[in-house]
Amino acid sequence: MTTPANNHSKYFHIESKASGVKILWLDVPKVNVLQMAVLQELDGILDRLANDPSLKGLVITSVKPGVFIAGADINEIRGLQSQGEAKTYQVTMDAKRILAKLRSLGVPSVAAINGACKGGGLELALWCTHRLAADNPAVALALPEVRLGIFPGFGGCVLLPRLIDTIKAVTMIATGSDVGAQEAWQTGLVDEVVAPDNLIARAEAIALGQRPLAFAVHE
Express as a percent the part of the chain with pLDDT over 90: 75
Mean pLDDT of 130-136: 97
Q: Are 154 and 124 in contact (CB under 8 A)?
A: yes
**Which of 7, 183, 18, 184 lies closest to 111 in space, CA to CA?**
184
pLDDT tens-digit profile of 166-177?
999 999 999 999
Strand partners for 116 = 67, 140
pTM: 0.91
For range 85-100, the mean pLDDT: 86
